[in-house]
Structures are given as C-alpha cells and as structure tokens.
Amino acid sequence: MNIAFNKDKPVAIGADHAGFEYKSALIEILEQEGLEIKDFGTYSADSVDYPDFAHPVAESVETGESGCGVLVCGSANGVAITANKHQGIRAAICWKDEIAQLSRQHNNANIICIPARFVNKDEARQMLQTFLATSFEGGRHENRVKKIACV
C-alpha cells in the first residue's frame, strides 16, 4: 500500500475500553505496513475515560511527533470532540470507507476516529488502510481547510 503520510514518523493510536479490541486489530495493519506505532493505550477492556487517550494522540500529531493518528471508542464522538480541541488537528469520524477517503481528500484529516460499536473489524481495517493511503487533494479544498482554525 502507498502511504500518504510521512512514513518516517510513527502513527499515534489510542482507544478507550470500547475500542480496545479494535485497537489491537488496527495495530496489526500498521505493523504489516512496516509503520512505527506510538500506542497511548488503553491496554485492557477495563472501563476508562476516553479523553485520557485522545489528548495524548492529538498532542503527538499536533507537535509533529507522529505523522497521523487513530482513535477508537464506542461512537467515535468522544474521541473526535476531544482531539479536535487541539490546534491543527482535524479528527474525522469515519463509519464507512468512502467517508475515510473523503476525510483525507477534502478535509486533510490527520486523525481517523472509528466507532467500534457501529462498524465491524473488517470495515475498521479497510477504513484505516484507505485513510493511510489517501492524499489531500488541495485545490479548492485548501482554502476551506485553512478556515477551520480559530486563530
């Protein structure tokens, strides 16, 4: 697979208890692609608070330490809301492959947020692969993306 993100930087990944099982499956995809992974947890299915994992993933992408990020929780809403509080983060909730593709092409998303309770593992894997392989189109979308920041 062609990777559209900087392959020299790790992919930051995190999940809450609802996304823990999916996170493990997605790490396998990243390893198969030979990508370095920065795993911010959680490391079990025990109940946890999603911001404790979304903030470190977003910070890693925000600072440039990681090239992109992956967040998984039950609905993906909590992790997306949390991640999008960070400047320069464009965290996109994706529930099917076409949304993952458009989030990159049109919105230059740098974190994919997957709703573990609403997609199966195969769909999650496919969305991640699409997200990683899709480039930002720029052009007419460039000005729109520049208008997202509040600064």
Catalytic residue positions, numbered: 73, 106
Q: Convert 11-50 to b/e letters by CB count within 10 Å (16 or more is b).
A: bbbbbbbbbbebbeebbebbeeeebeebbbbbeeeeebeb
**Distance in angstroms (rounded) separating the CA atoms of residues 110 and 104:** 8
**Distance in angstroms (rounded) separating the CA atoms of residues 75 and 150:** 26
Asked if 5 and 68 touch (Cβ cutoff 8 Å), the reply is yes
Asked if 78 and 17 touch (Cβ cutoff 8 Å), the reply is no
Asked if 86 and 58 touch (Cβ cutoff 8 Å), the reply is yes
